[in-house]
Amino acid sequence: MIDVRLATVSKRFDTSSDAAAVDNVTITIGAGEFFTLLGPSGCGKTTTLRMVAGFYFPTSGHIHFGDDDVTRWSPNKRDTGMVFQNYALFPHMSVAQNVAYGLKVRRVPRADRARRVEEALAQVHLTGYGDRRIDALSGGQQQRVALARALVIRPRTLLLDEPLSNLDAKLREETRTEIRRIQRESGITSLYVTHDQAEAMAMSDRIAVMQSGRVQQVGTPHEVYYTPANAFVARFIGRSNVLSLPVVSARETRVEVRLPGGATLDVGAAVGHRLAEGDTALVSARPEHITIAGPDEESALRGRISHIEFTGMATHLSVDVDGTDVMAAVIDAPVGIQLGDVVGLRLVPERLWVVQP
Among 9, 21, 51, 343, binds ligand ATP (CB under 6 A): 21
Q: Which is nearer to ligand ATP, 43 or 160 (CB)?
A: 43
Which residues between 191 and 220 bind ligand ATP (CB under 6 A)? 195
| Strand extents, DSSP E, 55-188 | 60-65, 68-69, 80-83, 157-161
Closest CB 160 distance from ligand ATP, rounded Å: 13
Q: What SS3 state is found at 11?
A: strand
Q: Which is nearer to ligand ATP, 46 or 141 (CB)?
A: 46
Q: Which is nearer to ligand ATP, 12 or 154 (CB)?
A: 12
Which residues between 81 and 140 bind ligand ATP (CB under 6 A)? none
How many residues sit close enough to ligand ATP to count as binding (CB under 6 A)? 11
Closest CB 20 distance from ligand ATP, rounded Å: 9
Binding mask 43-82 for ligand ATP (x = CB under 6 A): xxxxx-----------------------------------
Closest CB 97 distance from ligand ATP, rounded Å: 30
Contact segment (CB under 6 A) with ligand ATP among 39-47, 58-66, 215-223, 289-297 equals 39-47
Q: How far is CA 266 from CA 230, 277, 288, 327, 354, in A?
A: 19, 13, 18, 20, 10
Closest CB 163 distance from ligand ATP, rounded Å: 13
Closest CB 43 distance from ligand ATP, rounded Å: 4
Please name which of 45, 52, 58, 49 lies closest in space to residue 13, comparing C-alpha atoms.
58
Q: How far apart are CA 146 and CA 300, in angstroms?
A: 53
In this structure, are residues 153 and 79 in contact, taking their beta carbons and an 8 Å threshold? yes
For the chain, helix (H) and strand (E) counts, in that order, are: 9, 20
Q: Which is nearer to ligand ATP, 44 or 130 (CB)?
A: 44
Please name which of 119, 118, 98, 125 lies closest in space to residue 181, comparing C-alpha atoms.
125
- Is residue 338 involved in binding ligand ATP (CB under 6 A)? no
Please name which of 194, 116, 209 lies closest in space to residue 159, comparing C-alpha atoms.
194
In this structure, are residues 20 and 12 in contact, taking their beta carbons and an 8 Å threshold? yes
Q: Which is nearer to ligand ATP, 22 or 234 (CB)?
A: 22
Q: Which residues contact 111 (CB under 8 A, 6 or more apart)?
A: none
- Please give the residue ranges that form the binding site for ligand ATP (CB under 6 A): 13, 21, 39, 41-47, 195
